[in-house]
Structures are given as structure tokens and as C-alpha cells.
Structure 1
Amino acid sequence: MEKLLFIDACISTHASRTKRLCTTYIDQFLKKNPEVTLETVVLRKGKVEPLTKERIIERDKYVERKDWNHPMFDFAKQFQEADYIVVGTPYWDLSFASILKVYVENIMVADLTFKATNTGFVGLCEGKSLVYITTAGGFIGDKNFGYDYMCGVADMFGIPETELIKAEALDIEGFDAEKIMEKAIEEVKQRF
């Protein structure tokens, strides 16, 4: 059975507009693909932790033996096995919420999600596509470094397709945030 993995980095101090777009996309995807199961990872402190010197040393010992049974590899194994990935995160500081970078550090595992060769990286993930969903208070323009970064991650992991879904200018005076969101939601629905 195929799996859709939702990486929820929809950090917000209010009702998350990013989460709203993600929910629309996931609902439409599952309606069109009822045989696909959904797995969700909510990225929060305590659930995913940054790598420290001590954790890297410990991790390297397991990587050397290719022993993926330690819980520190659970996220990487889950990501590696997913057929479809949806990443949801607000546009922050020209990229994304820092917890997403911490998550990527945890899934970037040599010989599990990618392999280094003398000609470059070879992806070991089963993913067919990665959809990156974001919302921004202002205009993103050509400074979408979060999406660019996740495209690089997808390429390194062997995921052939990436797609960006965004709603922007949500906090600019004179712009109607709800109309912008409704338009973005309608565009998501039309993809299916």
C-alpha cells in the first residue's frame, strides 16, 4: 500500500493558514487516491532534536554498521519508505521554520536515504513526488530559499518531482487575506 507522508512544520501563533492549505491538498489527494494511507509527523521540540556532537558520534557508529533499528533513524526510515511527501511550513526569514531544518538533519542519513559515490549522490528514497506548501505575510518573489532547499533535498534523495504551492501577501495592508486564501484553496482543488 502506498503512503503519503505529511511533514507538518506549520508553526503558528494563530490558526495556521499553511495548515489550511495543506489540509485541502491532502484531502483532495486522498479523495483521488483512496488506496493511499496518510502518515503525519508534527515537528515540535522534543519530538525532533538537533544533532549534537555526542549524537553524531553515536549515529556514526550505527551508520557504519548499517544498523537502522535505533529510534534515531525512525524519521529517516519513514521518509525513505514514503511514496508521496507533503511539506507544510510558513515562509520565515527567507526560508522556513527552523524545526524543518532540524528534521532534515535527522533524515539525512548516508546509506539509508542517500548514498555518496565518486560521481555524486544517489537517492535511496521511494518517493515519487514532494509537494512544498507555504504561506507568507509578504511577497516571496525570487527569495524562496526554503523551497529551493527542499528541491535540493528531494534531488539528493532521488525524488524526481517537486511542486510548490503558496499563498502570499497575506499580511499586507489593503490586501484581503481571506480572498487570497480562498483563491489558493480553489487552485489546489483544481489540480485534482
Structure 2
Amino acid sequence: MKHIIETIKSLINNLSLKEAFGLLSVLITILAILASLTSGSFRLVDTQLENARTQKFLDGVKKELSDTRNDIRYLRLEMKSLEEIKDSKLLATAFANYRIKEAHDSLNKRFSKIEYLLNQDIEKSLEIPILRKDLEHFNEINESEISHIKSDIDKTNTLILSSLFAIAVGVFTQFLSKKNRKSSI
């Protein structure tokens, strides 16, 4: 780049003033064209990015619109099937059948889970009830021990209070006997 600038300087030095201005105007024109092309390509890249964002947004809107249309179609089919059931007894029966089917499906799922657990490891499936019984037994023993400890604490408190009362009576008796001795002297 430095070599190019030096070459241009030497050309300008060898040219007349009019030729130098002509060459300078050609160079400025070339720079202006390059600047406008660069600016245009930046605008083109910005436009392409904006178009890509817009297309992505439009794809999302199209998907939502498609999902909404499918939901509307499903609701229309359901409404048609409900319109076909005109008699209230048929409607009640259909509703009862639907609830029975839901309950049946729910029970089947639960049964499948239990069956899966039992088939996986019989020892583990049998450990849970045994552990529950052990836990209940330990809770009963623990509650029994807690009640014994509480009764022992109550007995100890009663003993301490009785001892303190006896000491207080003894001190009070000593105080009265000393006072009686002083008054008799």
C-alpha cells in the first residue's frame, strides 16, 4: 500500500497542475464508487438479515395458525358428534361411558406401573410394606419411650420441688429458732 501511495505521489509530481487535478478527480470518483458499493452491500446484508428474521417470525405465525385451524376442525367434529346425540338420555349415557373409559384407562395405567415394579425386582416391592411395618413399630416404641421419659422427668421435678420445700422449711425453722433465742436473751 505504501508503494502504491509513493507511485501516485511521483506521478502527481511529474504531472502538470491540470493533469494532477484530473487524476485526483478520477481517484475521488473511484473512491466514491467504492464507498457507495460498500454501503450498498451493507444495506443488502442488513436487508437479508431482516428478511430472515421476518421469515422466521412468519413461519412461527404460520405454525400457530395451522395449529389453531386444526383445533377448530377438532372442535367442529366434536360439536357435530354432540349434535348427533339429541336425546338427553343418550347424552347422559355417553358422558357416563366417557367417565367409565377414563377411569378404566387410569386404572390400567396404575396397574401397569404396579406390574412393572413387581416384575422389575420382587424383593424391592416386598421390602416397602415390611419397612412400613418396621417404621410403625419403631414409632410405637419411640412414643412409649418418650412417655416413660416424660413420667421420669415429672417424678424428678416432683422430687426436686419436695427437696427445695424441705430445705426452705429447714431454713425457715432455723431462722425462727435463732430469732427466738435472741428474743429470750
Which TM-score band applies after superposition, normalised by the shorter structure? under 0.3
Judging by fraction of residues, say which structure has more helix.
2
Judging by fraction of residues, say which structure has more strand.
1
The structure with the larger Rg is: 2
TM-score by length of 1: 0.16
TM-score by length of 2: 0.17
